[in-house]
Structure 1
Amino acid sequence: MNSRNLKPPPPKPEPLASEAPAPILPAPEDENHLANRSSPQAEKLLALVDNGIPIYLFCRASSGHSFQSDFFRIQFMTYARAEGNKWQPMHGEASEWMNTRNCLQISVDHPSRSVRFGPKSGFNLSAEIAGLGLSGYAYSQAIDWLKHRYPDYTVLPSVMPPAEHEGEDARAKRNSRLAAHGFDFEWDDSSQVHGRYYKAKAKQLISGWETDKVTEVSLSALLSTLSQQDEERANLEQQLHSLQSQERSLETLLQKEKQTNLILTGTTCFVLIFSLLGALGFY
Structure 2
Amino acid sequence: MTTTDAPPTDSAGAAAVEKTHPWADLEPEHFRLLRLAPLPTDRYSGARPLRFVQLARVERHSQEQSLLRLSVQLPGQRTHKQHNVLEVWIDRRHKEARFGPEKGLYIEPGNRGLGRFLLAQGIDWAKQHCPDYQVEGAALPAKDALSEDLRVRRDHCLEAQGFVVEYLDPLLLKARYSAARVDDLRSDWSTEKVQVIDLLDAAAMLQQADQNLHEQDVTIRKLGERIDRFKREDGSLRFTISCLIAFCLFQAGLLIWMATR
Residue in 2 aligned with 1:68?
64
Structure 1 residue 187 corresponds to structure 2 residue 167:
yes
- 1:145 aligned to which of 96, 111, 125: 125
The reply on whether 1:109 has 2:97 as its aligned counterpart is no
Alpha carbons of 1:161 and 1:151: their partners in 2 closer, same or farther (altered >3 Å)? farther
2:158 touches 2:165 (CA, 8 Å); kept in 1?
Answer: no
* Structure 2, unpaired ranges of 5+: 1-7, 42-47, 226-261
Report the TM-score when normalising by structure 1.
0.62
Residue matched to 1:132: 112
| Equivalent position amino acid for 1:78 in 2 | L
- 1:31 aligned onto 2:18: yes
Contact kept in structure 2, 1:181 and 1:206, CA below 8 Å = yes
Aligned to 2:181: 201
For residues 88-116 of structure 1, what are the alpha-carbon distances to aligned partners after superposition, in whole Å with 9 as ceiling and x for unaligned? x3x341xxxx6421111111111100011
Cα separation, 1, equivalents of 2:157 and 2:200: 31
Cα distance, 1:179 vs structure 2? 1.2
Letter in 2 for 1:31: E
Contact 1:171–1:193 (Cα < 8 Å) also in 2? no
User: 2:9 & 2:220 partners in 1: Cα distance?
Assistant: 71
- 40, 45, 52: which one pairs with 1:56? 52
Q: Identity of counterpart residues, as a percentage?
A: 26
RMSD: 3.1
Structure with larger RCO (C-alpha < 8 A, sep 6+): 2
SS in 2 for 1:178: helix
Shift of 1:56: 1.4
Code of the residue aligned with 2:88 in structure 1: it is I
Give the distance between the partners of 1:161 and 1:216, measured in 2 at CA.
29
Secondary structure, in 3 states, of the residue corresponding to 2:74? strand
Describe the superposition over 1:143-171 as per-residue Cα deviations: whole angstroms up to 9, x where unpaired. Answer: 00001110011001123256768411320
1:223 and 2:198 correspond:
no
Q: Output the amino acid matched with 2:10.
A: A
Q: Structure 1 residues 67, 38: closer, same or farther in 2, change over 3 A?
A: farther
Whether the aligned pair in 1 keeps the contact of 2:89 and 2:97 (CA below 8 Å) is yes
Task: For residue 100 of structure 1, give the secondary structure of its aligned residue in structure 2.
Answer: coil
Q: How does 1:229-248 map to 2 (within 5 A)?
A: 229-231=209-211
SS of residue paired to 1:144: helix
TM (norm. structure 2) is: 0.67
- Asked if 1 retains the 8 angstrom alpha-carbon contact of 2:162 and 2:184, the reply is yes
Contact 1:163 1:174 in 2 (8 A): no
Q: Structure 1: which 5+ residue stretches go unaligned?
A: 1-24, 80-88, 247-283
Q: Secondary structure at the match of 1:57?
A: strand
Specify the SS of the correspondent of 1:206: coil
How many positions carry a matched residue from both structures?
A: 206
1:107 counterpart SS class: strand
Residue 235 of structure 1: how far off its partner (Å): 7.1
Larger mean CA deviation between 153-162 and 65-74 belongs to 153-162
Partner of 2:152: 172
Aligned-residue offset at 1:37: 6.6
Contact 1:157–1:197 under 8 Å retained in 2: yes
Residue 259 of structure 2 aligns with which residue? none
